[in-house]
């Protein structure tokens, strides 16, 4: 029990200092609730407004992808350099130590393999399990123009509704069918549909021409996937161009974990995303770290 005799009467109310009321720093996210904003702040570094997401959820439809055969051996050493890990709940439970406090973006759609029509997905995780695993966001594939376009959009809207109940954001991942043209026109359409229907942020691919029109016309943050493995300097140039043209970060997988030196590469990617380093300087950093082993 507090000692009542010692209660001080003098109080300081700082009457000349108005209480701060700050706008949230992420594009299109100002009207979200506290829990949503807090989770987004665990994904997007509040100092830079950007993120380096390390994506290694590829196994959910293609099994043991090159570089992901042993996530405990190959991927966990990269975790300290990522802002966020994007993965499936199976890998989270079986491989990632719960003492690791990085933001988790959990793959929440699935149900098909690379042997079948990929757009035929469903929501594959209960919202309760996302809550139990303390995720920062849930990710769902959206196949605009795909065979099961409507089903995949409804998967997304359902996930947005479920997540909204508990303050968990949804990342819409735009998936492009093999037969479709990957250009700014397609990505303007796909990203805008995802945002209009409630996605809190959207993942897309970088395109050389007019990418800034994709980021400008999407009212929520965009992160880019890395796509197939490129030479390291080219991957760094792509990340740099995307950032300069309005992306809020990368959600990169193969260009990091299939690199000759993944721990060096993720640090070089960080330099581009968070420190505005040029691709050439970041590549020098990559080479130096690689040489140091």
The b-or-e profile of 245-273 (16+ CB within 10 A means b, else e) is: bbbbbbbbbbbbbbbebbebbbbbbbbbb
Mark the segment that binds ligand 5RP (CB under 6 A) among 193-201, 245-253, 259-267, 276-284.
Answer: 245-253
Shortest CB 172 distance to ligand 5RP, Å: 11
Confirm or reject binding of residue 254 to ligand 5RP (CB under 6 A): yes
**139 and 110 in contact (C-beta within 8 Å)?**
no
Question: Is 102 designated active site?
Answer: no
* 105 forms part of the interface with ligand 5RP (CB under 6 A): no
Among 189, 227, 284, 287, binds ligand 5RP (CB under 6 A): 227
Helix (H, G, I), strand (E, B) or coil at 178: coil
In the bound state with ligand 5RP, the residue whose beta carbon lies nearer, of 40 and 235, is 235
Residue 251 makes contact with ligand 5RP by CB under 6 A:
yes
The alpha-helical segments, DSSP class H, found in the chain are: 34-43, 59-62, 71-74, 89-95, 127-132, 149-166, 184-196, 211-217, 232-244, 254-257, 262-275, 279-292
Q: Which of residues 173-212 bind ligand 5RP (CB under 6 A)?
A: 173
Among residues 11, 203, 228, 237, which one is catalytic? Answer: 203
Q: What is d(CA 71, CA 88) in angstroms, rounded to the nearest whole number?
A: 12
Query: Pattern of binders to ligand 5RP over 77-96, x per CB under 6 A?
Result: ---------x----------
Residue 226 to residue 209: CA distance in whole angstroms: 16
Residue 55 binds to ligand 5RP (criterion: CB under 6 A): yes
Q: Which residues are catalytic?
A: 203
């Amino acid at each position: 029990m507090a000692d009542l005799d010692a209660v001080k009467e003098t109080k300081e109310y700082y009457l000349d200092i108005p209480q701060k009321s700050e706008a949230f720093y992420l594009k299109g996210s100002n009207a979200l609730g506290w829990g949503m904003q807090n989770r987004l702040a665990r994904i997007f570094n509040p100092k830079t407004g950007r993120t380096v997401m390390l994506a290694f959820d590829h196994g959910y439809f293609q099994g043991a992808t090159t570089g992901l055969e042993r996530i405990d051996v190959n991927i966990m050493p990269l975790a300290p350099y990522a802002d966020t890990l994007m993965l499936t709940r199976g890998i989270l439970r079986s491989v990632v130590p719960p003492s690791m406090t990085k933001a988790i973006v959990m793959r929440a759609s699935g149900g098909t393999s690379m042997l079948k029509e990929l757009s035929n997905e469903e929501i594959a995780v209960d919202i309760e399990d996302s809550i139990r695993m303390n995720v920062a966001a849930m990710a769902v594939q959206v196949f605009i123009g795909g065979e099961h376009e409507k089903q995949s959009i409804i998967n997304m809207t359902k996930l947005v509704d479920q997540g909204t109940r508990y303050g968990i954001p949804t990342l819409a991942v735009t998936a492009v069918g093999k037969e479709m043209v990957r250009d700014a026109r397609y990505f303007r359409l796909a990203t805008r549909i995802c945002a209009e229907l409630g996605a809190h942020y959207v993942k897309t691919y970088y395109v050389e021409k007019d990418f800034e029109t994709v980021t400008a016309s999407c009212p929520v943050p965009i992160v880019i996937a890395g796509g197939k493995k490129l030479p390291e300097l080219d991957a760094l140039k792509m990340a740099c161009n995307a950032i300069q043209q309005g992306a809020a970060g990368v959600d990169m997988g193969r260009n990091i974990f299939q690199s000759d030196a993944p721990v060096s590469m993720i640090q070089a990617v960080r330099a581009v995303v968070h420190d505005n380093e040029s691709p050439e300087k970041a590549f020098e950093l990559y080479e130096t770290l690689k040489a140091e082993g």
